[in-house]
Structure 1
């Protein structure tokens, strides 16, 4: 696990790992409650109906033909602009939560993917997604048309990249997944990722000037390894061989928002080992997502770090929704939890590998959650502070009764040129 499928940890990967660790330490926020409070304030602002907002939205149509309804603060930042295609990079200013400083390829040129093939792992063909993500310079990657990309092996990204699927139906499917390893500043937006399988490994070009031998990959949809400033937004994911999204080995400053997850067992894993204490710097925001049909567990499963789970819609699980070990801090605010019919699966939470005498001190707090069909959240640790913060901290997130509105457009969007997404 420590080498993450890198067969030979050579000078190139040593240098990349050392720089990633420095970036992660800089990304770590010493007072994470300030970030959660800011997000709570932004949610309130997004749902505040003002005359000026009504005037701005009048006449602009969504994909269903009605008024544009961007009801959470991330979508409100960009979605109602009919000229989004001319202002794509505005998206980079719209992240919230711990991944709010992810700029992706904002400061680079556009790269248009024109070829869906992935046949040459050592010398990727120009115009392919693999050729785009290994470039040294920042890039904002878009797609010439709708396409299904079957990755022959894991797609190893370099930093300062945005994968932006708006304006096309882009699917990464029936092959390997995406690996974000020892880098910073990555945005993945508006693509489908499904039916992902483990790769066999082999020689893979992981940057313009380096080819490395990789061992077998796990089959994750998106694997975040030792990386920081990552934002995953409006992605639809299902049916991967391992996890849908894993974030491990000291990764931090991550936001996962507006996504739709279905048909999977182990959905999200944050922190892979109880023995890897560097994951205590992990800080992740999970916001405005819909956890839908066919899900079993790990939404997410957490170790060590600080996790803000806010205004998500949990309509399905078979075992539990949120779990963890090694004393993570989990702040659950304004989510809707609809328990399954199984009387043995009503509990939202699951704590592993610790007796109650230990986990009673872990800080797992529920505030404003809507618990339905017998769902219950077992809280532990210190209560949330009621002290007055700066102005952004004084206005609360919206309670769980607002979740259907906040998550209405979770998953990929249909974005047409000249009209709002």
Structure 2
């Protein structure tokens, strides 16, 4: 895929050693991959490290690597190859990594397609000051190692969600990560703060979700699991929340 010929993917972020942060601590997710000094050569092993109800989320494990090389988001309908938006809308499984540190300001919400991993390990990647991540009516998504903050309401615009389809989006609330009618989702090791609405909202029958090892700070309504007592499909919702750090400046919904 864009920016990657299959030979250099393991060396893109080798410079940033992550193993020393936590290995052998008893956290089963971290111990699964951080104890491996060559984790960067076996990135997709992360998909074997999930626990809880979202443990079967494989993300883009069975696809190719896609290297994000461009931080821009100039056109949400016709995204440029090399951008994060171009990566997440593809119809095939992809394991998405980043060539370098970057701050991504999205013009509109980032609408994920199924069987995607966004893997920020080894780079300092911020999604900030614009739209953020929407996981809607899809399956098998892993979001790992991102800084997501200062998300704004977006919408009343056309946005692409696959190579063959784009459509009109009404106003999005400004969640950091919105999970809507989706399953087999794993949100792990992200830093989330200061967004217009929720940090992680899972609604409309979403299930088979794990929210783990995230750092939440400086926010009012942190997390929402199910949007209405009258919505019967939420009765089957299964969500694991584990090893998260609910930090400074939080007010409510934890969860």
Measured at CA, do residues 70 and 78 of structure 1 come closer, stay the same or move farther in structure 2, by a change above 3 Å? farther
Question: For residues 124-203 of structure 1, what are the structure 2 equivalents within 5 Å?
Answer: 124-203=79-158
Measured at CA, do residues 262 and 87 of structure 1 come closer, stay the same or move farther in structure 2, by a change above 3 Å? same
1:62 paired with 2:20, answer yes
1:227 paired with 2:182, answer yes
CA contact (8 A) 2:187 2:210 kept: yes
- Bigger radius of gyration among the two: 1
1:275 paired with 2:230, answer yes
Residue in structure 1 matched with residue 163 of structure 2 by the alignment: 208
Residue in structure 2 matched with residue 56 of structure 1 by the alignment: none
Structure 1 residue matching 2:194: 3-state secondary structure: strand
CA contact (8 A) 1:234 1:258 kept: yes
Once the 2 structures are TM-superposed, how far is the Cα of residue 296 of structure 1 from its aligned partner? Answer: 0.4
Q: Residue by residue, what CA displacement relative to the aligned partner does 1:27-82 show, whole Å, maximum 9, x if unpaired?
A: xxxxxxxxxxxxxxxxxxxxxxxxxxxxxxxxx9615xxx8444311111111111
Q: Residue by residue, what CA displacement relative to the aligned partner does 1:371-398 show, whole Å, maximum 9, x if unpaired?
A: xxxxxxxxxxxxxxxxxxxxxxxxxxxx
Once the 2 structures are TM-superposed, how far is the Cα of residue 122 of structure 1 from its aligned partner? Answer: 1.0
1:218 paired with 2:218, answer no
Q: Residue by residue, what CA displacement relative to the aligned partner does 1:246-284 show, whole Å, maximum 9, x if unpaired?
A: 000000000000111000000000001121111001000
Residue in structure 2 matched with residue 260 of structure 1 by the alignment: 215
Whole-angstrom distance in 1 between the partners of 2:215 and 2:152: 20
For residue 296 of structure 1, the aligned residue among 223, 247, 251 is 251
Once the 2 structures are TM-superposed, how far is the Cα of residue 157 of structure 1 from its aligned partner? Answer: 0.4
**RMSD across aligned positions (CA):** 1.2
Once the 2 structures are TM-superposed, how far is the Cα of residue 201 of structure 1 from its aligned partner? Answer: 2.8
Question: For residues 212-361 of structure 1, what are the structure 2 equivalents within 5 Å?
Answer: 212-300=167-255
Structure 2 residue matching 1:216: 3-state secondary structure: coil
Whole-angstrom distance in 1 between the partners of 2:149 and 2:209: 21
CA contact (8 A) 2:63 2:93 kept: yes
Measured at CA, do residues 274 and 68 of structure 1 come closer, stay the same or move farther in structure 2, by a change above 3 Å? closer
CA contact (8 A) 2:53 2:238 kept: yes
More strand by share: 2
Structure 1 runs, 4 residues or longer, greater than 2 Å off: 67-71
Q: What TM-score results when the alignment is normalised by the length of structure 2?
A: 0.91
Whole-angstrom distance in 1 between the partners of 2:64 and 2:156: 31
Residue in structure 2 matched with residue 325 of structure 1 by the alignment: none
Structure 2 residue matching 1:125: 3-state secondary structure: coil
Whole-angstrom distance in 1 between the partners of 2:195 and 2:102: 19
Q: Residue by residue, what CA displacement relative to the aligned partner does 1:88-139 show, whole Å, maximum 9, x if unpaired?
A: 0000000000001000000000000000000111110000000000000000
CA contact (8 A) 1:68 1:80 kept: yes
Whole-angstrom distance in 1 between the partners of 2:191 and 2:182: 22
CA contact (8 A) 2:23 2:31 kept: no
CA contact (8 A) 2:200 2:224 kept: yes
How many correspondences in the alignment?
Answer: 238
Residue in structure 2 matched with residue 359 of structure 1 by the alignment: none
Whole-angstrom distance in 2 between the partners of 1:117 and 1:209: 21
Gaps of 5+ in 1: 1-59, 301-421
